[in-house]
A and B are shown apart, each in its own frame.
Chain A
């Protein structure tokens, strides 16, 4: 089940299918603004997804999901009223709008104009959309991944594979008349393997994800999906635990950007700064990292999981420089924080879906290449660890302490990668870690994994990228 790219003019999708046309939109908007407010948005969403799974040698499970509904947000200053409905009738939508408006009893009057369609860029170049892919193709793909996994290494004992695709049409309507319609495809391939060697047993997985159609799975990507899953699993069979304590940490290019996301990215979301609860709240324009460090948050990387043609408040996707040459240049803003700071929104207002109100969120957070050769970075460490792959992370925004879980890596001894290591939590303080990034590689890689960022109970798809870097000191949760 999938939603095709809309062929009609913006607004036609919800008008033709659900009877939500210009006149009804005006009535709902008037209900949202009836007691006065600074702003509001109507967010409509029609989403469908399909997944196919293989386990125990059989393609024996599939699932489909359809989500339909709309959310109304009413804003007075920094105060927010929000309600949603899954029923797109005039009665239900106007009731939701009136509920959201209850917060706005003292707001100013606001005229409702429009709606007028707004044209947007498209950072999701899909040539073979999922609505034109039959179930046999999906079944054959997950089957093929399984076969390759078993062929890759004789120690592979179990294989599970999974292919998911989704697409949604969203429509955002604003009281200034703007009507934006966007089509958002997404896919993810996932392979989980278990390997057995004597008494040792390990499981691990790899996944690839992007805003793309079937064309995403070219031969190279499908091979990498499977080979990485198998190679990571058998790697664990020979890996041990690193020593415990503080030590230099070298982060491999690509997925190591989880450090960027947790240690730095969240603290630069403007809502925490507007409320004064981020450790970066008073650091704008100050040096917060070495001159080698430039960090952007970019919604315009074609096909990336974090790409946004338009954010969920109707502002165009864009590239925001957060840190330039070590100096803090911008937060990530939604409209509320942009008004608070008197700056333009950065297209960072995102939401999980119609059941949630938007917040400032990351898109693709990337550290730009620096001057150092990756080999030189490893060679510079007398004793430390090299973190290669990761599973998850977390941050305390105000205190700044963050953690990420390293799945695989190596010990570094006398400038060389030695013992394979696994399963260790690495912890530090974000601003300190940023200051301690003293070498930055010239090899930035955008990770292709399907990262989802959680905040206030909302998950949104994100991407992240990083060159090889050296962090002078972090706490490694090893043993001994």
Chain B
């Protein structure tokens, strides 16, 4: 089992991974497991970093690993190894089966019914760029050089301390086999580039900003110019920053950061949180939990999107679903195990791409309609209490008055409760970000508590 091939991935490569997964299931069942689910993944990626005019780091990763879930005498365990030598693998599985026998039975730990398992249309996901060659050294070198030059050009009027640019490409292949006969194999490519900018500021401060773009297909990666311009815009907004006065402000969260805010919802939606009584959303299904303006969709089937996949971790086929419709909670994230514990059919415990539909105004136009507001351009620290919905995050960004930027702010916190936050959701801008699994526009919230000076 070699991880040394660099040929573009094809069916033979996926077949080789499927063969390993089948062997693992066969060995595990021969050792006494009544059920087994094996996943084998292989990935190759290369990243190049350039700093201040010269290459700083070239890194190549080639990984091959196994994950296996076993059900032995009604007991459950999960295992992983990167030592796939046949003798070592057999010994590993022997020990894994043996260790499982010491546990207590758990009748809910079983594979899903075979008829529930399957794949969405893998070809339609378009996750593999046929142009991937795995030997794109010149492209990476040109990209990091162009990114640095473009960033320096945009920052020509600023005191630049350092510019670091990076580019990567990679591929990964995954195969899954369950002892009930379900099998799946698919592959994807990934490309990206970005830049980190360090600027000199008053008081010896050296604020940093960054911008990047990644995509499944090379053609979908943003160009050098928008990446560089964004890094410099964000860097400029960090200069001379400090806390604004404490108080309640409308808050515009930039599109790339929306996941940090709306992501607060996902923890308490999980089946495990519900079963373990750690969810502030328990009993709220079908109830209004947010402003009627908010609709949040989970769509793992968007072609070429970062969060798309043919099936979830249980082997259930991916499907589009509405999580919040017009402010009403429509669906929890219930995986197979917790569905059985809760006595409910599974809805799928994983999310793919989380989508909020865009509005019709630019972020600037939304801000122009407000006497004052804070535009959040970055988070710092913070956390959420999924049991109560309380949250508190550090933020930095720009304070606006009448649509005009008047102060670069930092060292501020926002605090509150999830339900208050969602109730105060007001509007969406038109600037959907497609570079991550959160595909949303910038969002505007009314009347958020900021603490500052």
Contact = CB atoms under 8 A, between A and B. Distances in A.
A49 B414 CA distance: 39
B205 A1 contact: no
A398 B198 contact: yes
B95 A1 contact: yes
Contacts of B63: 86, 355
A399 B207 contact: yes
Contacts of B198: 276-277, 398
Interface string A78-108: 1111111111000110011001101100000
Contacts of A428: 411
A260 B90 CA distance: 46
A135 B415 contact: no
B207 A423 contact: no
A68 B276 CA distance: 35
B83 A405 contact: no
B116 interface: no
A341 B29 CA distance: 58
A99 to B, nearest CB: 5
A478 to B, nearest CB: 6
A64 B79 contact: yes
Interface string A311-354: 00000000000000000000000000000000000000000000
B415 A477 contact: yes
A158 B208 contact: no
Given A68-B82, A403-B394, A425-B415, A60 B451 contact: no
A427 B381 contact: yes
Contacts of A201: 277, 387-388
A370 to B, nearest CB: 26
Nearest to B84: A86
A427 B162 contact: no
A424 B392 contact: yes
Interface string B153-178: 00000000110000000000000000
A426 B393 CA distance: 9
B308 interface: no
B388 A275 contact: no
Given A66-B83, A404-B381, A477-B392, A56 B58 contact: no
A396 B380 contact: yes
Interface in A5-23: none
Given A276-B161, A399-B207, A479 B388 contact: no
Given A68-B83, A102-B58, A275 B162 contact: yes
Interface in A380-432: 391-405, 422-429, 431
B104 A357 contact: no
A393 B109 CA distance: 36
Interface in B378-393: 380-383, 385-388, 390-393
Interface residues of B, number: 83
A268 to B, nearest CB: 14
Contacts of A110: none
A427 B95 contact: no
Contact of B415 (A202, A241, A279, A398): A241
A313 to B, nearest CB: 16
B195 to A, nearest CB: 14
Contacts of A228: none
B381 A392 contact: yes
Given A66-B81, A425-B394, A427-B381, A79 B56 contact: yes
Interface residues of A, number: 90
B106 interface: yes
A282 interface: yes
Main secondary structure of the interface of A (DSSP, over half): strand
Nearest to B70: A62
A398 B208 contact: yes
B192 interface: no
Contacts of B394: 394, 401, 403, 425, 427, 477
B364 interface: no
Contacts of A85: 3-4, 62
Contacts of B413: 244, 403, 424-427, 475-477
Contact of B388 (A66, A81, A202, A405): A202
A478 B201 contact: no
B61 interface: yes
B82 A405 contact: no
Contact of A398 (B61, B207, B385): B207
Contact of B277 (A194, A277, A403, A427): A194
Contact of B238 (A91, A278, A399, A431): A399
Contacts of B241: 399
A83 B57 CA distance: 11
A136 B102 contact: yes
Interface in A149-182: 157-158, 160
A158 to B, nearest CB: 5
B392 A87 contact: no
Interface string B333-371: 000000001000000000000000000000000000000
A55 B54 CA distance: 53
B206 interface: yes
B259 interface: no
A379 to B, nearest CB: 26
Contact of B104 (A60, A100, A425): A60
B449 interface: yes
Contacts of B236: none
B198 to A, nearest CB: 4
A144 interface: no
A65 interface: yes
A52 B381 CA distance: 30
A281 B208 CA distance: 14
Contacts of A215: none
A61 B55 contact: no
A30 interface: no
B204 A282 contact: yes
A480 B248 CA distance: 9
A83 B60 contact: yes
B39 interface: no
A136 B101 CA distance: 10
Contacts of A81: 57-59
Contacts of A399: 201, 205-208, 238, 241, 410
A102 B59 CA distance: 10
Interface in A48-76: 50, 52, 55-56, 58-69
Contacts of B415: 241, 244, 424-425, 477-479
A203 interface: yes
A158 B392 contact: no
A399 B387 CA distance: 34
B99 A50 contact: yes
- From A277, A426, A477, residue with most partner B Cβ within 10 Å: A477
B92 interface: yes
Nearest to B89: A66
Nearest to A76: B55
Contacts of A402: 380-381
A5 to B, nearest CB: 19
B60 A475 contact: no
Given A95-B4, A275-B51, A394-B380, A423 B392 contact: yes
Interface string B401-424: 000000000111111100000000
A392 to B, nearest CB: 6
12 contacts: A65-B80, A69-B82, A86-B63, A92-B2, A157-B277, A194-B278, A202-B388, A282-B204, A398-B205, A398-B207, A403-B381, A478-B415
Kindly list the 4 A-B residue pairs having the minimum CB-CB distance in the complex, ordered from nearest: A477-B413, A403-B381, A244-B451, A398-B206
Given A423-B391, A476-B451, 17 more contacts: A60-B104, A65-B79, A79-B56, A86-B82, A92-B4, A160-B276, A203-B276, A203-B386, A246-B452, A396-B380, A399-B206, A404-B381, A405-B382, A424-B413, A427-B412, A431-B204, A475-B243
Interface of B: 1-4, 51, 54-65, 75-84, 88, 92, 95-96, 99-100, 102-106, 109, 161-162, 198, 201, 204-208, 238, 241, 243, 246, 275-278, 341, 380-383, 385-388, 390-394, 396, 410-416, 449-453
